[in-house]
Amino acid sequence: MNNSAVARRRFPLSIVVLLAAVVILAILPFYIRGYWIRVLTTLFMSAVLAEALNLVVGYAGYAAFGNGVFFGLGAYTTAVLMTRFGWSFFPAMIASCFLAATVAFLLGWPVLRLRGHYFAIATIGINMAVMEIVTYVGITGGGKGISLPLFPGDIVKQGLFFYYGMFILLIISVAITYWIANSRLGYGLRAIKTEPEAAEVMGVNTTLYKVLAWSISAAITGIAGSLNAYWLTFLEPLFVFDIMISVEAFVMVLLGGPATIFGPVIGAFFLKLLSELIWSQFTLIHMGVLGLIIVVITLFLPSGIMGLWRQMTLRWNKANTARTSPGSQ
Partner 1 sequence: MALLEVKNVSRSFGGVQAVNNVSFEVNEGEIVGLIGPNGAGKTTMMNLISGLIKVNEGEIRFQGARLTGLKPHAIAHKGIARTFQIVKPFQGMTVRENVMMGALFRSDLRGLKGSAVKNIVDEALELLELDRRAEAPVEELNLAQRKHLELARAMAMGPKLLLLDEVMAGLNLKEIERLMELVRKLNARGVTILVIEHVMKAVMGLSKRVLVMHHGSLIAQGPPEVITQDPKVIEAYLGKRRHKGLHKEAR
Q: Is 248 exposed, middle or buried (0-12, 13-18, 19+ CB in 10 A)?
A: buried
Largest Cα span, the chain: 76
Minimum CB distance to partner 1, residue 197 (Å): 6
Minimum CB distance to partner 1, residue 251 (Å): 21
Which residue lies nearer to partner 1 by CB, 135 or 317? 317
Which residue lies nearer to partner 1 by CB, 61 or 165? 61
Distance CA 147, CA 156 (A): 21
Task: Return residues touching partner 1 (CB under 8 A).
Answer: 1-5, 184, 187-188, 190-191, 193-195, 197-206, 259
Minimum CB distance to partner 1, residue 206 (Å): 7
| H helices present in the chain, as ranges | 4-27, 34-54, 68-84, 89-111, 116-136, 155-181, 184-194, 196-201, 206-232, 237-240, 243-256, 263-277, 283-300, 304-324
Q: What is the DSSP letter of 154?
A: -
CA dihedral 153, 159, 163, 166 (to 10 degrees): 70
Which residue lies nearer to partner 1 by CB, 70 or 262? 262
State residue 203 phi and psi, 5-degree precision: 100, 10
Which 3 state secondary structure label does DSSP give 235?
A: strand
Which residue lies nearer to partner 1 by CB, 69 or 180? 180
Which residue lies nearer to partner 1 by CB, 82 or 199? 199
Minimum CB distance to partner 1, residue 107 (Å): 20
Minimum CB distance to partner 1, residue 188 (Å): 7
Helix 206-232, helix 184-194: angle, nearest 10: 110
Distance CA 10, CA 8 (A): 5
Which residue lies nearer to partner 1 by CB, 159 or 186? 186
Minimum CB distance to partner 1, residue 201 (Å): 5
> Of 98, 61, 49, whose CA–CA distance to 186 is shortest?
61
Minimum CB distance to partner 1, residue 191 (Å): 5
Which residue lies nearer to partner 1 by CB, 200 or 242? 200
